[in-house]
Amino acid sequence: MALHDEIEHRRTFAIISHPDAGKTTLTEKFLLYGGAIQTAGAVKSNKIRRGATSDFMEIERQRGISVSTSVMTFDYGGKLINLLDTPGHRDFAEDTYRTLTAVDSVVLVIDCVKGVEAQTERLMEVCRMRNTPVIVFINKLDLEGRDPFELLDELEEKLSIKVRPMSWPVGIGATFQGVYDLYSRSLRLFDPGKTKVESNSERIEDLSDARLDEGIGTDAAGQLRADIDLIEGVYDPLNIQAYREGRIAPVFFGSAFNNFGVKEVLNAFVDIAPSPGPRPTDHGEVAPDDPKFSGFVFKIHANLDPNHRDRIAFLRICSGRFQRNTYYHHVRLDKEMRFSTPTNFLAAQKTIVEEAWPGDVIGLFDTGNFKIGDTLTDGADFTFRGIPAFSPELFRELVNLDPMKTKQLDKGIRQLTDEGVAQLFTQQPGNKKVVGCVGELQFEVISYRLEHEYGAKCAFQQIAAHKACWMTSTDEGVLDQFIRVKAQQIVQDKDGNPVFMAPSSYMLDLERRNNPEITFHTTSEFKTAVA
């Protein structure tokens, strides 16, 4: 196939949700349809469950699972679908945010009982940063959930996106009978427990058709007609362009566990989800059909065997064709590199790929050359944008417990933070190291891995920090002055940029008011703004 056809053929996306809404279950059903797995239960949850075993053992277990499920590729509806996995635990949310930079669209799962939850809002904020197209799947309709109209209103309100229902539930919980698919105008009746492949639905073009009353009873049919009337009156027809620009989200209802309403989402997904699109760089956009190869690293995975320090860097191909054993340009290191064992992640065993196309994700064997956000090209010197660091939420000072192992500790923390396990900030003089994380578990991972992989022992000490703020100013003099005066609260990020550690939200507001010439950013993205 020519480059253009390869691009058209691909859909690269992620399923995201607040933990427990049904991401793993929906993933599994998609894979069943795609023929990538044969039995239910084949997809292991990558959730870290507290309690049963010690946390770091759980984390190791999760790391083991997460390599094999990092990218799940399957064919459906004539498309080649790359489904990128995201961690199930909130503490590893930053990994999810980074994965979102490598997809072209997402499916967002909402629990119909709980509605929009905290993590749903954070994830959508990240999607909005890049205008990522979103399809919503409202799950668990077999449970006594909230009123569907109320859920739609909540989505619009809390996620700041317009919605358009594409299917509609007949009843909910005990009265749940099925979904009416507004997209294909067909009714599908609920048959709990069907976990493999759904039966065909009955097509009812005209809602006044008596078959509707026969199928679901006169009362439910009347209610459905009224609901659909209301929907058609209130919501505009789906504008696919607006969806692709991230302005409107089509919404589906169903029950992933019962494999109900899942096929509708998948069918709509292959029809409307965008193929790999152009990507912003510091030198303008790169179109996928640019014949010159380019891609970026959005994730790094360390080897599970502590005796082998090698890692896998996950590269998203953005343009042209990637070929095995060909020299490419590592832009940050200004170095030519070639890869003899690029892998894809199909099934459990990795296989070597000869070539890959825009939208594909491949694994590159890495001995320490890659950092998250690195760009590979076929010679050009540009860097992909849109892989920001977000301000961590917890900050601790890293304390070395074994002075004989200072070198190991330094190396370990540098490599782990290159991998994206956490963010590292340093302060001079004194080489004080501050580690920033999203959740407590990340600190546990770091101490465990530093000890087991690098032989270094550490402790984490509380410090007063609320947010890490990158700064820009129209007046460099003012910024320099601020950095000098606030030296106690200024640290350097991994690229040497000064970062203000705001001790509290009150102090941050105060500094913002006192220094109107300085903009305080809680993501690092602005650094790579188009030159």
By CB under 6 A, residue 19 contacts ligand G4P: yes
Q: Does residue 20 interact with ligand G4P by CB under 6 A? A: yes
Query: Which of 142, 198 has the CB closer to ligand G4P?
Result: 142
Report the DSSP pairing between strands 162-165 and 248-253: parallel
Please give, one letter per residue, the 3-state secondary structure of 171-221. CCHHHCCEEEECCCCEEEECCCCCCCCCCCCEECCCCCCHHHHHHHCHHHH
| Residue 47 in contact with ligand G4P, rule: CB under 6 A | yes
- Asked if 508 and 469 touch (Cβ cutoff 8 Å), the reply is yes
Residue 88 binds ligand G4P (CB under 6 A):
yes
- Other CB atoms within a 10 A radius of the CB of residue 442 amount to 24
Least distance in Å: CB of 346 to ligand G4P? Answer: 21
**Which positions from 123 to 162 touch ligand G4P by CB under 6 A, shown as an x/- string?**
----------------xx-xx-------------------
Query: Given the complex with ligand G4P, which of 25 and 132 has the nearer CB atom?
Result: 25
* CA atoms of 378 and 321, how far apart (whole Å): 10
At which residue do the structure tokens 């070198």 appear? 407
How open is the CA angle 105-292-419, to the nearest 5 degrees?
A: 55
Contact flag: residue 21 with ligand G4P (CB under 6 A): yes
Does 22 engage in binding with ligand G4P (CB under 6 A)?
yes
Q: Is 24 in the site for ligand G4P (CB under 6 A)?
A: yes
- Range in contact with ligand G4P (rule: CB under 6 A) among 236-244, 249-257, 415-423, 463-471: 249-257
Q: How far apart are CA 124 and CA 159, in angstroms?
A: 6
Q: Is 96 among the residues that bind ligand G4P (CB under 6 A)?
A: no
Query: What residues contact residue 429 under an 8 Å CB cut-off, 6+ apart?
Result: none
Q: Using CB under 6 A, which residues numbered 377 to 416 contact ligand G4P?
A: none
Pick the binder of ligand G4P from 137, 168, 176, 257 (CB under 6 A). 257
Nearer to ligand G4P, 176 or 460 (CB): 176
For the record, the structure tokens of 342 come out as 């690029």
316 in contact with ligand G4P (CB under 6 A): no
Check binding of 255 to ligand G4P (CB under 6 A). yes
Instruction: Report the nearest approach of ligand G4P to the CB of residue 22 (Å).
Output: 4
Bridge partners of 106, per DSSP, are 14, 134
Binds ligand G4P by CB under 6 A, chosen from 8, 45, 227, 507: 45
How far is 170 from 187, CA to CA, in rounded Å? 9
Candidate list 7, 11, 13, 23; residue touching ligand G4P; CB under 6 A: 23
The 10 Å CB-count burial string (b at 16+, else e) for 234-256 is ebeebeeeebbebebbbbbbbbb
* CA 184 to each of CA 188, 268, 275: distance values in angstroms, whole numbers, following the listed order: 11, 9, 22
Cβ distance to ligand G4P smaller for residue 85 or 511: 85
91 binds ligand G4P (CB under 6 A): no
Please report how close the Cβ of residue 309 comes to ligand G4P at its closest, in angstroms.
31
Kindly indicate which of the ranges 19-27, 291-299, 325-333, 376-384 contains the residues binding ligand G4P, using the contact rule CB under 6 A: 19-27
* Smallest distance from ligand G4P to CB 321, Å: 34
Give the shortest CB-41-to-ligand G4P separation in angstroms.
8
Residue 429 beta carbon to ligand G4P: minimum distance, rounded to whole angstroms? 45
Alpha-carbon span 168 to 253, nearest angstrom: 6
By DSSP bridging, strand 79-84 and strand 10-17 are: parallel
Do strands 134-139 and 248-253 pair parallel, antiparallel, or not at all (unpaired)? parallel
Candidates 75-83, 231-239, 250-258, 374-382; binding stretch for ligand G4P (CB under 6 A): 250-258
For residue 450, give every residue at least 6 positions away whose Cβ sits within 8 Å of its Cβ, in sequence order, or none: 408, 409, 412, 413, 416, 456, 457, 458
Q: Which residues bind ligand G4P (CB under 6 A)?
A: 17, 19-25, 45, 47, 88, 139-140, 142-143, 255-258
